[in-house]
Structure 1
């Protein structure tokens, strides 16, 4: 294999490149990215970068010397627009084409938007810097969507003295992800910090003065942040022969087609540890999947299934939230350690007869590691919680 192309200068793409070199690949390695910047970390955008605790360069994933050592051919600021998996060619927006012997695709996701102009989203470094310039004491910020991204941004904005209104269509924020009981606990943090949290409301459009709700009410704001989820960037794969839908579909080895592997937020793969197909939009998974895809591409005769215990974290109002496992589709939630009323607890999640995941707030890594091991071992619900 003399020429490998990685499409996506992301955490997943960078992890794949580093793994290829670490595993001994010494051929041509091309990294394509639609942003002009070298790979940077996205989780700090809604936390340290938005709050101005970090300057932009601190979010960069690798120093120049470290990137140089990888001997990459960088094609930054140009998007991939097409793939011919038969001829093994990637077409770029500048009219050029890249042939490959092996391909790893990691083009991530993009924010969902609402009708109307002028709203912020929070996906790129530029997005974070633009919004942080507008946040100041007394400024009115409307955040549409009380998921983890919206909650983190609301937390930072309140700390900076902005007046925050948080709008969420569901009766309980994050209930789809972590369950109603935990969702209510996390919601209390907003209310206790003076956020105007409104649930069960639908925003139909962004206006010049704020947002308009489905019932016609208008909420005025100086700034609007739309944080209503994301869409996988799969459009460029149309006609490629790859199966796409809610992400690009892969097998348990992260292979999407012969010689084509996928990683990161837009990869939907079969995770044999849980027996389901999943697409995970979390930083740790992106890096781990990039590494797994690279190893399997490089060593087709010794492939290993990618069967991780997914992990995510969030920082809100000084609370450290951590979760292991696959929480979606759970059938039961039980508080197994601590007290939810005190904001320090561990909640366990059941799917079928097994422990499918755990979420901790304000607990140490040692406690969470023990629960992670139980999830990884496939512990039954009875074994885990009694």
Structure 2
């Protein structure tokens, strides 16, 4: 026992200590680095700084970000989550151009950036973000008007490359190099998620046409995006080939908040057709208008409907023309049931009906379960006749039972 009491954490190997430290959050890691010189060296190990989440740290300032970047963040950083000062009484500058440039230099492997309650109006554009980013998620942020614009517009590049002969070829090659250096399309961002960003408008959406690598776009509670904005960005055949968001494979549109808010249904813009769009997710108030236009998406392979109320007839009529559909998913969907005469009238077997409150409650429960199963079975049969090669997934769905 005396030998056991003599052991402490100093006897543990460094790899085990690093595994123990990995269970701490950022603030606890910084405090652990003040214990001793050995712990200070272990805390700076890049294995502990691959996925950094600062959203739970309420008093993060620009000074704190500089300290973390200079002492801890490095080439091991893969994902960074930050919470700004948009809703704070202190205010002030949170993300500066100099800090973002230093982040790009010191963390060349950063792939995901999540910003919460961040005011980005002090930045000239998204070209200041690290060029290694593949995913950008903005939640409850404020954006300037030209945040997604590229420095050198593609139209200017085409105009400068119009002259023929060797001079035109040389100008075209030069313009291509300038586009790679100056445009945000060189940032390799493939996924853009916007969650409750009221300042995001049709102008921002049209600016994404120059993002050549963008393949996944999620618009959640973006109230100022209209159907005309989606129509103008839809991938379609043009004079110079496919125009618009031609590389986009996944699109999500959903609005759940702000009850009573006067909105234009942005999903109506899907009616223009969208070449190459393979996956579509609709939620909230955008499900009904989106289903009316989904039949024109000829390349659609996967459709997800969430947080809405639908009827069997509405689903079958909207999906019957999607011959290429391979997966139809329902998440948190309430289905409107159809009254079944066989259930209401009974099966005529002549068995004695149950009496009493317990029996009545059991009968109501069994009736609701039967009606729920009948609704799902009826929907599956109807869809199977129209889409025989499609699979159906139901997650946390229910059936609306009529009071009668």
Give TM class, smaller chain: under 0.3
Give 1 or 2: higher helix fraction: 2
Give 1 or 2: higher strand fraction: 1
Decide which structure has the larger Cα Rg and report it.
2
Q: Which structure has more RCO (C-alpha within 8 Å, separation ≥ 6)?
A: 1
TM-score with structure 1 setting the length: 0.22
